[in-house]
Amino acid sequence: MSAMSTLRCVRCKKEFDPRKITYTCDQCGETLDVVYDYSAVAEKAQRSELENRHGSLCERYRDLLPVSDNAVAPGLGEGQTPALKCNTIGDGLGTPNLYVKDETRNPTGVFKDRATVIAVAKAIEFGRRTVALASTGNAAASLAAYAARASLQSVVFVPEGTPMQKVSQSIVYGANIVQVRGDYDQTFDLMVEACNQFGWYNCSPAVNPFRTEGKKTIAYEMCEQFNWNPPDWVVVPTGNGCNLAGIWKGFKEFHRLGLIQETPRMVAIQASGADPLVSAYNKKVAVLEPVKANTLAGAIAIGRPRNFLKAFISLEESDGVAESVTDDEIVAAQVLLARNEGIFAEPGAAAGLAGIIKLVEDGTIDRKERICCIITGSGLKDPESALRGSSKPLIIEPTIKGLRAIRECTLTKPTRHVCTAFLPTIAPH
Ligand SMILES: *Cc1c(COP(=O)(O)O)cnc(C)c1O
């Protein structure tokens, strides 16, 4: 049974009844945090008990999730992603304890599925038949899939000009797609108003207080995967900041329950063209100064992070680090990860690795420490930017002579030893 006790404003601490739909604080407008009665969970939260639990994400962690027993959304096999050791990149960088948690393997190719399954379960619990959100890509596709699975209607709002390849997944899953003549902020505001008027359940990241709870299962799984001794550093590519805050919450909870002795230091990596959290944190002032996002890493192209405060607090509490990386560094990391470890990440998802390279080289992260990077989403979702760091294959005549010509000029040798000197040079966009 869920041990959820209340919803509490992250800023002014006002509390709200979790059995009613509330998105943000009516007093100060800030996001809400789900609070649990941990004493009710303590007895059952034993390492051996958790290791022996099987089933879906909701079933395994039900007591620490905000879902009631009888209204759980049908899952699609989300979560339970592997933590893989990166020996080749580790050799090149001189970091023998480098890992990635490969979230590209979630049902729609992105960690957001962990949050969507919770949001859809809440919609069912609240008796809503239609779920909605504003997004330009991954969150929309994820919602469309889980709504289809649960036989709910979904409405996804996207700003005009959103590339079709980004919304094609949502189209096939059968979402109602509303294209808005306006930017992301206007689209978002319209969606909020529509949810209020038509009774649609708002599943948007940050304003839906329950989504974060799904993301904390990344931390739960890591505790188990690292034999209850989680890594020294957990590196998260960051846009709205929901994932970073969710993962940190998971570690904090398992620490509080006595399941782990030490918590990791959290690292937020943003694209240098959209890094308001990095700027604020490095000035140590929890005030958001929005920017106009300018980066090819679409998933983290957020100029006004909607979970700013939760993310900022997570960095503070974990003695964390925030760093930004350029688009060239991101594309180079994407290629490095694919060529050396066989993992195809979208640019936003590869940003964490670019950040690790930078932080190891400037000495912030000690090379011997245990580092785990969250690879948030699959490169298949954004094929266009993937090809920026690679050359397109040549077409030849069907003759051996033609084949010899490519062998001589372009076939790349597999690189066993990698370091940053091997990073490809990126042509100017
Ligand atoms: C949404 C997303 C992010 C950013 O997560 P936030 O919770 O917004 O910080 C990073 N990578 C991918 C692939 C995403 O889809």
Average pLDDT of adjacent 10-residue blocks, the chain of 429 residues = 96 97 96 96 89 90 91 90 97 97 97 97 96 91 97 94 83 95 86 96 93 97 98 97 98 98 98 98 97 92 93 98 97 95 96 98 97 96 77 86 77 47 41
- Is any atom of ligand 1 closer than 6 Å to the C-beta of 241? yes
Interatomic CA distance for residues 77 and 310, integer angstroms: 28
The two beta strands, 371-375 and 98-102, are parallel
Instruction: Provide the pLDDT for residue 405.
Output: 80
Task: Return the best residue to mutate from 103, 111, 212 for the ligand 1 pocket (most ligand atoms within 8 A of CB).
Answer: 111
How much distance in Å is there from the Cα of 205 to the middle of ligand 1? 10
- Is any atom of ligand 1 closer than 6 Å to the C-beta of 379? no
Tell me if 199 sits within 8 A of 337, measured CB to CB. Answer: no
Instruction: Provide the pLDDT for residue 130.
Output: 98
43-71 residue pLDDT tens: 888 999 999 998 899 999 999 999 988 77
Instruction: Provide the pLDDT for residue 394.
Output: 82
Tell me if 211 sits within 8 A of 118, measured CB to CB. Answer: yes
How much distance in Å is there from the Cα of 174 to the middle of ligand 1? 23
Residue 135 φ/ψ, nearest 5 degrees: -170, 165
Instruction: Provide the pLDDT for residue 69.
Output: 83
How much distance in Å is there from the Cα of 298 to the middle of ligand 1? 9
- Is any atom of ligand 1 closer than 6 Å to the C-beta of 351? no
Residue 36 φ/ψ, nearest 5 degrees: -120, 160
How much distance in Å is there from the Cα of 271 to the middle of ligand 1? 12
24-48 residue pLDDT tens: 999 999 999 999 999 999 888 899 9
- Is any atom of ligand 1 closer than 6 Å to the C-beta of 75? no
Instruction: Provide the pLDDT for residue 412.
Output: 53
Q: CA-CA distances (angstroms) from residue 30 to 7, 14, 60, 378, 416?
A: 12, 10, 30, 31, 49
Residue 173 φ/ψ, nearest 5 degrees: -70, -10
How much distance in Å is there from the Cα of 426 to the middle of ligand 1? 24
Instruction: Provide the pLDDT for residue 410.
Output: 56
Q: Whole-prediction pTM value?
A: 0.94
Instruction: Provide the pLDDT for residue 411.
Output: 53
- Is any atom of ligand 1 closer than 6 Å to the C-beta of 298? no
- Is any atom of ligand 1 closer than 6 Å to the C-beta of 378? no
From 99, 422, 372, 136, select the one nearest 274 (Cα to Cα). Answer: 136
Instruction: Provide the pLDDT for residue 409.
Output: 61
